[in-house]
Structure 1
Amino acid sequence: MLVNDSLLTGPKSTILIGCTVGVISSATQSIGLTLQRKSHLLEDTLPCPYSRRPPYRRSRWRLGLLLFLLANVVGSSIQITTLPLVILSPLQAVGLVFNSICSAVMLNEPFTRHSLVGTVFISIGAFLIADYGAIPEPNHNLQELLTLLRRKPFLVWMAITGFAVIGLLILIRMLKFQERIERRDDAVRSHFRCPQPKVVRGLLYGSVSGILSAHSLLMAKSAVELLIKAFTSTYADFLKWQTWAIVGSFLFFAVTQLYFLNCGLRICSTSVLYPLVFCIYNITTIFNGLIYFEQVSKLSHAQFSLIVLGTFFVLLGVIALSWRLDK
């Protein structure tokens, strides 16, 4: 995508700071996720299930969660205020490289030919999705946001994603049921078996987390728009219950996506899970913007084709990394 020089507003030092913070926050987020995954793995090695502690009682898991939240809240805030969208979006893909490194170093996962191929595919795909899916969005007041929320296309889109989440959770329950049956009766394994059921369940959890994370971002951006309006013009919007409903929706999506992400981390490697979450999150975010902000006309056929190509590359990379773990 060609970048117009006028888009790179602000002094070079500000952009340099934003990029530096972006790289550091991506590394911090990857370390945080890997620490959470390592905490789950170490706890699973305990012989007695009853002696295993819940995540919030483990210092390693708490440290990982703190780093993850710190990178997301502080790092994202600084990047949003210092970087234009054309730089901010592709910079997100750096986290996938750090994630692959952390998995190899901290979790002792093998870095094979499949790892290299998968990482390259994922990096290319993530760059295509983030770069060509970046569309600037205007600011709105509460009334405009409520009008956008009530539009039929957006309600249909939210219903579709809601049914998708429910369907994924049903599949997860079915896979759990299958695993229980297999543990009881070995004869069942030869007739009906999902390959790598734990990995598949982890990826399904990651897909749910990616969808909810994108909706969380949408509500967060809406809340931030109202906050900016409050500081620049009037506080009237903050006295209306609809504003707090938007804030409540943001908190709901934020907490649930974090919960399902951790469910995935329990049973699936971060080197496989995180790229899929990234892919689902970015695609859902793109469609959220296109439908919610009525920006379908701003996405060209070429952009759409490159986003689809990027998604294909990410999925190929995830498959390659899954094969590596299987071997």
Structure 2
Amino acid sequence: MTTLSLGRAINEGLRKAMEDDPKVLVMGEDVGRLGGVFRVTDGLQKDFGEDRVIDTPLAESGIVGTAIGLALRGYRPVCEIQFDGFVFPAADQIITQLAKMPMRSLGAVRLPVVVRIPCGGGIGAVEHHSESPEAYFAHTAGLRVVACSNPADAYAMIQQAIRCDDPVIFFEPKRRYWDKAEIDPSAAPPFDRARVVLPGTDVTLLAYGPMVKTCLEAAAAAREDGRSLEVVDLRSLNPLDVPAIVASVRRTGRCVVVHEAPVFCGFGAELAARVTEECFYRLEAPVIRVGGAATPYPPARLEEHYLPDLDRVLDAVDRTFAY
């Protein structure tokens, strides 16, 4: 066992993947000499060289397009998108090519490309630096979409994503990069399976990425009022671990979905629909969604009013008992 921050855990996971497979490449803006804006790739270029840790031009479409070409030649590229809001110039490459080429070729072409995206707010960043674009990519057939929430998962999941023959969108909660926890390097939880982080009996909280910690804080506060909340970390958004979600909600009879993205047409809508379809006769109340407002992400001084927090989660829990 060793204690690492989430950012360092990803760094160590990348290092292990590169040691195990010489076809693994890391590429992106400032990932080499600088080690990335969050220092997640710090030291990798020094140890593996400029041929395997590649500083690219500031052109996201070029980064992903080049990665697709490398994957066609047998490499396993890991692209870093510097901030979540910068992924949209690469959307054409991701949605039109990366997601579709394997099926177009009836599986003859494999594109084992990982696109790492620091996501979410809470760091006081400027415009375009605090987005939550997961619903766009989860809606795109042909992409795996996963989100880590803690150092142990980050270490294991990045390696599993790199080994996967499917294209993977890998979301990293940027405000959790400095959170530390123990990791077991030998553990390998499946990166496409949800995990019950905290068992409970009264309400299921479904979350992923940065909101898992917020839900755990809410559960601790609710315990003082005599309520037992079960926190489920989805880990994978596509494919979605429906059996684990259904099992939890059938135990508790109530469900609150929490994410940073706006509620309207957010990923929580899919979760609410699935839970309602599968658990209709076991639900004691409608599924409640908690998320950002239907506005562009606000200036840094206002983000605490935009982001879901402990009080908003607990308010949603209270609403499930009002029916």
TM-score range, shorter chain: under 0.3
| RCO comparison, higher one (Cα < 8 Å, 6+) | 1
Structure with the higher fraction of residues in helix conformation: 1
TM-score, normalised to structure 2, is 0.25
Which structure: larger Rg? 1
TM-score, normalised to structure 1, is 0.25
